[in-house]
Structure 1
């Protein structure tokens, strides 16, 4: 495959994942994270972990968008998505929608796109290749 096309594809993946996750982070900044704190304490985890959402939904997507330590950013997004699925959507993991799609399509797409980016790297159209 032509390297230019490969790098362009990685750029599109980085921008799509980063921008879409960042929008969720902006919503957390303009709202609050008390719901996440509640889910954590209900799961027996410390409420302070809720502040990790800012790492997973603000810092990590910025790294991914810029291509600055994008692999680390992608891993952070993947971890964030595992927590989101486990805390907020665990009852939906094996459910389908009325039209036959997976109930967690959005969360799954974010998780697997982040894993793919962590494995492939950001490409040449990035600040660094890490």
Structure 2
């Protein structure tokens, strides 16, 4: 049986980092108005919206490249917890029209980033 845990770790890093990066790039091009509105509706300073760029651009790049990988993964976990609390608490136990969890994307990012924290980057990474 072929076994290469380092390749598996790389695939998890590329998947969670790469897919989340698309969300960050979309916010870079479309702005943070939606997130600023969410923050304001919860009585929080709208300037906190800039943290999305850390959680959805900087952190995914760290995870993809394997540079300070665990720190990047922690930032993704924090980003996802904040997103769930601010925007998705009404969907915690809801199902989508196709039968999956309404929060499956957010939970995917959260749980896979948590896995990266515990697994580490593996040998295919930038040197720290």
Count of aligned residue pairs for this structure pair: 128
Runs of 4+ in structure 1 over 6 Å off: none
In 1, distance between residues paired with 2:10 and 2:98? 31
TM-score, scaled relative to structure 1: 0.93
| Match of residue 49 from structure 1 | 48
Residue 103 of structure 1: CA displacement? 0.9
SS of equivalent residue, structure 2 residue 125 = coil
Determine if the alignment matches structure 1 residue 17 to structure 2 residue 21.
Answer: no
SS of equivalent residue, structure 1 residue 30 = helix
SS of equivalent residue, structure 1 residue 113 = helix
| Match of residue 82 from structure 2 | 83
CA shift digits 1:89-122 (9 cap, x unpaired)? 1100111123432111111101000011011111
In 2, distance between residues paired with 1:26 and 1:98? 27
CA contact (8 A) 1:69 1:128 kept: no
In 1, distance between residues paired with 2:127 and 2:92? 35
| Match of residue 115 from structure 1 | 114
SS of equivalent residue, structure 1 residue 100 = coil
CA shift digits 1:42-100 (9 cap, x unpaired)? 11211111000000011000000000001000000111111111111110011112343
| Match of residue 92 from structure 2 | 93
CA contact (8 A) 1:22 1:62 kept: yes
| Match of residue 65 from structure 2 | 66
In 2, distance between residues paired with 1:100 and 1:24? 23
Q: Any unmatched runs of 5+ in structure 1? A: none
